[in-house]
Amino acid sequence: MAEAILEVRDLVKHFPVRVGVLFKRTVGHVKAVDGVSFELRRGETLGIVGESGCGKSTLAQVLMRLEPPTSGTASFEGKDMFALRGAELRRLRRNVQIVLQDPYTSLNPRMTVGDIIGEPFEIHPEVAPKGSREGEVRELLNVVGLNPEHINRYPHQFSGGQRQRIGIARALALRPKVIICDEPVSALDVSIQAQVMNLLGELQRDLGLSYVFIAHDLSVVRHLSDRVAVMYLGKVVEIGTEEEIYGQPSHPYTQALLSAVPVPDPLLRGRREVIRLAGDVPSPVDPPSGCRFRTRCWKAQDVCAEEEPELITRVAGHPSACHFAEAHVVVGAERENS
Amino acid sequence: MSTVYDGERGEFVAGEEQATAPLLEVEDLRVEFRTNDGVAKVLNGVSYHVNAGETLAVLGESGSGKSVTAQTVMGILDTPPAVVLGGHVRFHGEDLLAARPTRRMEVRGAGIAMIFQDALSALNPVFTVGFQIAEQLRVRRGLTKAEARKGAIDLLDLVRIPHAGQRFRSYPHEFSGGMRQRAMIAMSLALDPELLIADEPTTALDVTVQAQIMDLLRDIQRERDMGLILITHDLGVVAEVADRIAVMYAGRIVEQADVYSLFRTPAHPYTEALLQSLPRLDLKGQELKAIKGLPPSLAHIPSGCPFHPRCPRVAARCSQEVPAYRRVADGRFSACHFAEELIPRG
């Protein structure tokens, strides 16, 4: 097993909810990330799945140090990420980069592609001295499958998939060790999505990158991930290898999530197990007591409201935060006859 | 229901009951957008039909023309910049494109209704949800305020919004994404339409909510024997709910078939490539077979078959001859020169 390159412990990020015009007072907190722990090993992809509002993007922002954490620790190669200052922090930023979801708003429309991809070198001149920058940018364009001749074009001259490649080239510029991919393919058309996913896979193999791959699409996550964490309302409810999560999910939420994904095979129609959750995700300002999933869970008992289930291994060889965790095959368990 | 191509009439007709017209029939629809930057040929001869109680999925990527077709059917296309060059939209055999505006207005809502992807921007933020549903009942059905209110609450109840009586007074921003989509479905059902066009109804929703909404749409459709046109890019959703599928590419229908045949043996290389490019939840991934290149710009559609620059099966004639959209098997249509070779005989 490879060593951990990124270790996150009990990470918490609360956003205050303020009311009032002149005298602002805090009336509560959005508990976006509420005690998340995981480790990312060198060269692997950790997928993070969850629905909107589960805190997966906030997690990405905190790990990028774009938002300060409320509490908790994260260490990159053994160094406390949140304690770093000055030159050390700059070095960390070199090593951890991000690819954002929306290729339309994450690129400055007034900058040429060459300037966008080359901008990281302004802040980190040690990576590429001034004279070599254009060559570096051309090389990066080549690596992500774009024409190096297009270095002087503007973002609007590219399609969505090409823009996402530009975003990836920018993330690669400083030769990082970890890339946090925040929904990198969800804005793309199906035929383009596969191109970008293949590119991410190739880059990982060639450059030995580690990915934190955040997405809501469970098929996409399965395709790229070695291990997967499932988030619900700011917490990891289940974590394990890709086989464990998809083959033997033991948390009811994971099971429901997997069963809700439509499978592109009409022959399975009516033959797949369907678990339908009632209602919507509760507000992260005032999450349910005990287990946060209990309000939508069909297994909920009194204990679920009183006692928060720990994320520990109870069954199926991987941790799951459910008092009544039991492995249950959802995907690929089609009934023979219907 | 099986459909056959009637060569003499040059249109699709129902197999057994050729006498009755389909609920909706779109024939050879041609639309272009004229802008200062040039002319975009958005629809280049689109034909499909839907029968009562049937679900037709219109599948395509962004810019393929699937939404513009629906907007033309509804008569809500912005003209200009859009110009309808030709074609027919027949509802119960009546050509809506030739109908007077007042007649079109009658059909809209009561005959054909539509729901949209982004429910938040489709609802008016300054009126309550209940008011917006009741408004149709008052204006179109002439109901009194109290009657309309009762009707709207019944509709909210029908789409499974809890505490409909209280929710009647809520504003759109007080609803969650799933509830807004339910409210919009309620609004679309207010005048008992015979056909519902759902334009990416679940794309903006989370997967567990998406499943709820698709279940709701299917149940309502069954109860009312309503025709449903489901516009989507999601092959998974299509596989679960559609009876027939029309695949669009660059403003054309490139393939049309029943859902089982299309997934088993696609009769167009684009459909085949789309199916192969999908990551599957139930299959551990290897390299995905991505489709090379980009969808064409509608201002510069490639000569011959518009898919030929990206097609793995491309041959010399593909760049020169536009392949005819034709019947290639029972109930199956394709616009590929080699469609007959793609599907097994018999």
Residue B304 pLDDT > 70 = yes
Mean pLDDT of B307-311: 92
pLDDT of res. A310: 92
Contact list in A for residue B259 (CB cut-off 8 A) is 266
Coil, strand or helix at A238 = strand
pLDDT of res. B3: 52
pLDDT of res. B1: 44
Residue A302 pLDDT > 70 = yes
Express each pLDDT in B175-186 by its tens digit: 888 888 889 999
Nearest residue of A to residue B178, measured between CA atoms: A280
- Chain B, window 56-75: residues with a beta carbon less than 8 angstroms from a chain A beta carbon: 61-62
Domain parsing of chain B, residue ranges = 3-111+191-279+288-342
pLDDT of res. B208: 84
Residue A334 pLDDT > 60 = no
Contact list in A for residue B292 (CB cut-off 8 A) is 195
Is residue B176 within 8 angstroms of chain A, CB to CB?
Answer: yes
pTM higher than 0.80 = yes
- Across chain A, mean pLDDT equals 89
Contact list in B for residue A201 (CB cut-off 8 A) is 287
Share of chain B above pLDDT 70, in %: 93
Residue A48 pLDDT > 90 = yes
Share of chain A above pLDDT 70, in %: 98
Least CB–CB distance from B235: residue in A264, A274, A332: A264
Nearest residue of B to residue A282, measured between CA atoms: B176
ipTM: 0.79
Nearest residue of B to residue A50, measured between CA atoms: B206
Residue B32 pLDDT > 50 = yes
Structure token pair of residue A64: 């990028």
HSE of A130 in the Cβ direction (CA atoms, 13 Å)? 0
Is residue A266 within 8 angstroms of chain B, CB to CB?
Answer: yes
Contact list in B for residue A220 (CB cut-off 8 A) is 279
Residue A318 pLDDT > 90 = yes
Least CB–CB distance from B290: residue in A159, A198, A216: A198
Contact list in A for residue B274 (CB cut-off 8 A) is 190-191
Cβ contact A263–B239 (<8 Å): yes
Decide the pairing of beta strands B332-334 and B24-35: unpaired
Express each pLDDT in A8-24 by its tens digit: 999 999 999 888 888 88
- Across chain B, mean pLDDT equals 87
Contact list in B for residue A162 (CB cut-off 8 A) is 294
Express each pLDDT in A217-270 by its tens digit: 888 999 999 999 999 999 999 999 999 999 999 999 999 999 888 888 888 887
Cβ contact B278–A194 (<8 Å): yes
Cβ contact A222–B278 (<8 Å): no
CATH 3.10.20.30 is the classification of domain B3-111+191-279+288-342 = no
Cβ contact A264–B215 (<8 Å): no
How far is the C-alpha of B272 from the C-alpha of A26, rounded, in Å? 55
Instruction: Answer for the pair B235, A190: CB distance below 8 angstroms, yes or no.
Output: yes
CA distance B235 to chain A (A): 5
Cβ contact B238–A264 (<8 Å): yes
Nearest residue of A to residue B64, measured between CA atoms: A189
Contact list in B for residue A219 (CB cut-off 8 A) is 236, 278-281
Contact list in B for residue A184 (CB cut-off 8 A) is none
| Range in B12-21, B218-227, B298-307 with the lowest mean pLDDT | B12-21
> Which are the contacts of B345, defined by CB distance < 8 A and separation ≥ 6?
none
Residue B13 pLDDT > 60 = no
Express each pLDDT in A155-179 by its tens digit: 988 888 889 999 999 999 999 999 9
